[in-house]
């Protein structure tokens, strides 16, 4: 990515001080104080048939942990959260609670002004837990060994639950650090202070989990070999390739995947050395597009425009995320699709031409009317797909697909016996961290049950 943007000035040239940058990338939502947490927890009605639980993808008993906070039982509250979602700390920070548990809260009506702040209460519990040792015990060694491909939320959740069942787990990770999206893909102001790494370290305290880095399926990792060497394989691959616009000039300097820039931003020790597009265009409508646009604005860009081919209501980014972008002076332009990359006399991105669109009989069509937006850089955030090398693996190529993603049954079994999958690589849901955690947890349960069945049959 750096080569695509190396001609741009550095963030330090924008004149923002180190302190301003630090403030711009501090917590998006500051944590509750102890007093605020107690007061907020007492707003909860502790519903018997709580709609917030039904809305939680990881089945956390929300009224129970909130009641435990109100009783100042922080360890108890944390245990309630983590027994269903071992990555409950990061999910408390990145979950779109406004469309999940908090939208379902019975306090969420005009007379109350707002629902119970479930996300912030969950963060309070997981931030302040103080266990003498890991809160979950590893069962007696089962003698079984399971391979997990990918140390993202799905893979880590699967590994932890398998360890609880007493199975030995080896996690194979392509990158140099674990965490997946939490480490490399979330806006820096959502997961601050190296939290992703600390959470993984906590998870690994259960024991029985080995991590191996630089292991990439289709490169130096073979699914057939993993299948032969282990009693089960879980694929938590994620989606590593950015989709193409399909336009001439797409490989020009100044046009880059948003995910690559966000990855570099999250790993940067000195934000002033990042390349800065003073006039920036982001193409997309999801949380990645919002994160990219908002962070470029916070780095000191003068103009940031997010362009989407349909209307505001069709954007996959929540209304809350859209408001974050607007609060950072990001301009949202809808009903427009990319038509041509505009280049300067050096062959570098100078802007983009868009065609206005409209909907006709449920189909998106171009109107023929065009306009241009000048830009020093254009970032693609139009979705991701499998990295080609992942599915070049001979055995992985045999996996049945659903729309380009891996097909699984209700228990996350793939079409290959003994191979399971979950997270963004399967065609299910909204590509949320909390959902990936649930996939990993349920897949681990299926693996465990299948191993028990094999043992009984033998």
DSSP label at residue 377: E
Q: Give ranges for CATH 1.10.1060.10 in the chain.
A: 34-128
What's the confidence (pLDDT) of residue 429?
63
Q: What does the alpha-carbon distance between residue 30 and residue 259 come to, in Å, rounded to a whole number? A: 25
CA distances from 453 to 10, 138, 367, 400, 447 (A): 59, 21, 60, 24, 10
Secondary structure (3-state) at 242: strand
Closest CA to 2 of 281, 278, 273, 296: 273
Q: What does the alpha-carbon distance between residue 68 and residue 82 come to, in Å, rounded to a whole number? A: 14
Closest CA to 436 of 423, 452, 447: 423
- Token digits of residue 262: 């966000």
- The phi and psi torsions of 367 (rounded to 5 degrees) equal -95, -15
What's the confidence (pLDDT) of residue 241?
77
The interaxial angle of helices 118-128 and 74-82, nearest 10 deg, is: 110
Q: What does the alpha-carbon distance between residue 135 and residue 128 come to, in Å, rounded to a whole number? A: 14
Instruction: State the residue for tokens 């409950």.
Output: 88
- 145-240+386-457: CATH class: alpha beta
Q: What does the alpha-carbon distance between residue 385 and residue 403 come to, in Å, rounded to a whole number? A: 10
Q: What does the alpha-carbon distance between residue 458 and residue 456 come to, in Å, rounded to a whole number? A: 5
Per-residue three-class SS string for 342-382 = EECCCCCEEEEEEEEEEEECCEEEEEEEEEEEECCEEEEEC
Which residues, other chains included, contact 458 with Cβ-Cβ below 8 Å and sequence gap of 6+? none
Please state, as a whole number, how many other Cβ atoms lie within 10 Å of the Cβ of residue 146: 27
Q: Does domain 242-383 have CATH number 3.40.50.970?
A: no
What's the confidence (pLDDT) of residue 188?
94
- From first to last of its 458 residues, the chain has per-residue pLDDT tens of 556 899 999 999 988 888 999 999 999 889 999 999 999 999 999 998 999 999 999 999 999 999 999 999 999 999 999 999 999 999 999 999 999 999 999 998 878 789 999 999 999 999 999 999 999 999 999 999 999 999 999 999 999 999 999 999 999 999 999 999 999 999 999 999 899 999 999 999 999 999 999 999 988 999 999 999 999 999 999 887 788 888 888 889 999 999 999 999 999 999 999 999 999 999 999 999 999 999 999 999 999 999 999 999 999 999 999 999 999 999 999 999 999 999 999 999 999 999 999 999 989 999 999 999 999 999 999 988 777 677 778 898 899 998 888 999 999 999 999 999 999 999 766 678 999 999 999 999 999 999 999 887 76
Q: What is the CATH number of domain 34-128?
A: 1.10.1060.10
- The phi and psi torsions of 202 (rounded to 5 degrees) equal -65, -45
Q: What does the alpha-carbon distance between residue 236 and residue 433 come to, in Å, rounded to a whole number? A: 12
What's the confidence (pLDDT) of residue 249?
84
- Token digits of residue 434: 């909390």
The answer to whether the CB of 198 falls within 8 A of the CB of 149 is: no
- Pairing mode, strands 279-284 and 377-381: parallel
Q: What does the alpha-carbon distance between residue 306 and residue 323 come to, in Å, rounded to a whole number? A: 13
Q: Give ranges for CATH 3.50.50.60 in the chain.
A: 145-240+386-457, 242-383
Q: Which helix (H) or strand (E) holds 19?
A: helix 18-24
- Pairing mode, strands 401-402 and 405-406: antiparallel
Which residues, other chains included, contact 105 with Cβ-Cβ below 8 Å and sequence gap of 6+? 51, 52, 115, 116, 118
Instruction: State the residue for tokens 């609060």.
Output: 327
- Pairing mode, strands 168-173 and 145-149: parallel
Q: Where are the alpha helices (DSSP H) in 133-207?
A: 153-164, 181-184, 195-204
Q: Where are the alpha helices (DSSP H) in 233-273?
A: 258-267
* pTM score of the predicted model: 0.94
């Amino acid at each position: 990515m750096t080569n695509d943007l190396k001609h741009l000035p550095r963030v330090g040239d924008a004149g923002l001080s180190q302190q301003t940058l630090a403030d711009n990338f501090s917590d998006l939502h500051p944590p509750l104080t102890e007093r605020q947490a107690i007061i907020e927890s007492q707003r909860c009605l502790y519903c018997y048939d709580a709609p917030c639980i039904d809305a939680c993808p990881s089945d956390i008993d929300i009224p129970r942990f909130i009641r435990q906070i109100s009783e100042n039982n922080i360890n108890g509250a944390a245990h309630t959260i983590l027994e269903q979602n071992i990555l409950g700390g990061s999910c408390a920070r990145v979950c779109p609670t406004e469309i999940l548990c908090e939208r379902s809260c019975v306090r969420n009506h005009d007379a109350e002004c707002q629902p119970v702040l479930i996300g912030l209460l969950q963060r309070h519990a997981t931030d302040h837990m103080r266990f003498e040792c890991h809160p979950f015990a590893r069962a007696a060694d089962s003698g079984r060994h399971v391979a997990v491909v990918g140390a993202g939320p799905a893979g880590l959740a699967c590994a932890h639950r398998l360890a609880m069942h007493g199975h030995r787990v080896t996690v194979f990770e392509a990158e140099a650090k674990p965490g997946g999206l939490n480490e490399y893909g979330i806006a820096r102001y959502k997961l601050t202070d190296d939290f992703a790494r600390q959470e993984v370290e906590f998870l690994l305290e259960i024991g029985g989990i080995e991590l191996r880095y630089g292991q990439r399926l289709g490169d130096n990792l073979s699914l057939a070999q993993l299948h032969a060497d282990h009693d089960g394989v879980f694929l938590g691959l994620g989606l590593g390739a950015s989709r193409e616009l399909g336009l001439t000039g797409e490989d020009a300097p100044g046009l880059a995947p948003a995910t690559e820039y966000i990855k570099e931003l999250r790993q940067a020790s000195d934000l002033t050395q990042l390349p800065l597009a003073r006039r920036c265009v982001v193409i997309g409508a999801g949380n990645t597009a919002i994160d990219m646009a908002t962070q470029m604005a916070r780095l000191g860009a003068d103009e940031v425009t997010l362009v989407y081919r349909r209307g505001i209501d069709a954007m996959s980014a929540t209304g809350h995320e859209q408001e974050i972008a607007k609060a950072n002076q990001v301009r949202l332009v809808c009903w427009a699709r990319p038509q041509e990359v505009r280049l300067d006399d050096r062959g570098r991105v100078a802007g983009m031409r868009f065609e206005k669109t409209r909907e006709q009989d449920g189909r998106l069509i171009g109107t023929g009317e065009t306009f241009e937006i000048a830009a020093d850089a254009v970032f693609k955030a139009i979705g991701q797909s499998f990295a080609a090398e992942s599915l070049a693996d001979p055995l992985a190529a045999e996996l049945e697909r659903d729309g380009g993603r891996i097909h699984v049954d209700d228990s996350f079994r793939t079409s290959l016996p003994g191979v399971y999958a979950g997270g963004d690589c399967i065609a299910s849901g909204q590509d949320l961290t909390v959902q990936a955690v649930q996939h990993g947890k349920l897949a681990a349960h299926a693996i465990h049950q299948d191993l028990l069945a094999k043992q009984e049959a033998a």
